[in-house]
């Protein structure tokens, strides 16, 4: 896949929108020193190229009753493709899993799991994760404090 060409103004637009996507086009245009029409064209081009994937509201997990965050590594048995396909389908349906990555190294998957409390986590592990065929090992790490938690990508490498 070919990377889109970015200029300084595109980078500014992306940095600003990563921090506040609720700005009006007028406000965004003023911040990047463009008139509204060219600014809107640039934003639309970034959306169409898939650079801007979506706009979301980021919620504070404890304020919506999800005070426990765990990182869980999962190892699957290596017998055929079936357990992997089943596992991937299952993960996509688990609301507790807010991110899952296929990994290199000792474990096959890394999941970010957001739950209410330890009881909720225990139910998730016992009733969902460990019941998946092919799961042979899991390891859990619980977050004690969020030192840095951002969704903004570093864009210093762009022009």
Specify whether 75 is located in the same domain as 32.
no
1, 7, 51, 100, 152 from 34: Cα distances, Å: 29, 14, 20, 39, 23
* Total tally of structural domains belonging to the chain: 2
Which residue segment(s) compose the domain that 79 sits in? 61-142
Specify whether 72 is located in the same domain as 125.
yes
Asked if the structure places residue 54 within a domain, the reply is no
Asked if the structure places residue 84 within a domain, the reply is yes
Specify whether 72 is located in the same domain as 119.
yes
* pLDDT > 90? residue 87: yes
pLDDT in tens, 103-139: 999 999 999 999 999 999 999 999 999 999 899 999 9
Average pLDDT value for residue range 91-107: 97
pLDDT in tens, 19-34: 999 999 999 999 999 9
Cβ contacts of residue 28 below 8 Å, gap of 6+? 13, 16, 17, 39, 43
For position 83, what pLDDT does the model report?
81
Asked if the structure places residue 148 within a domain, the reply is no
For position 27, what pLDDT does the model report?
98
- Nearest residue to 111 via CA among 76, 63, 80, 151: 76
* pLDDT > 80? residue 80: no
- Rounded to two decimals, the pTM is 0.86
* pLDDT > 60? residue 13: yes
Confidence of residue 2 (pLDDT cuts 50, 70, 90): low
């Amino acid at each position: 896949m070919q990377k889109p060409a970015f200029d300084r103004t595109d980078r500014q637009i992306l940095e600003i929108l990563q921090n506040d996507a609720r700005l009006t086009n007028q406000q965004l245009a003023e911040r990047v020193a463009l008139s509204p029409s060219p600014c809107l064209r640039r934003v639309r081009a970034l959306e169409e190229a898939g650079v801007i994937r979506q706009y979301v509201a980021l919620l504070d997990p404890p304020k919506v009753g999800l005070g426990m965050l765990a990182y869980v590594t999962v190892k699957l048995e290596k017998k055929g493709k079936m357990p992997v396909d089943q596992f991937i389908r299952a993960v996509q349906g688990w609301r507790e899993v807010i991110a899952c990555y296929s990994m290199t190294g000792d474990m096959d998957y890394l999941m970010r799991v957001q739950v209410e409390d330890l009881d909720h986590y225990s139910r998730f592990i016992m009733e969902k994760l460990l019941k998946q065929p092919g799961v042979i090992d899991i390891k859990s790490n619980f977050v004690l404090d969020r030192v840095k938690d951002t969704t903004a990508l570093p864009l210093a490498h762009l022009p």
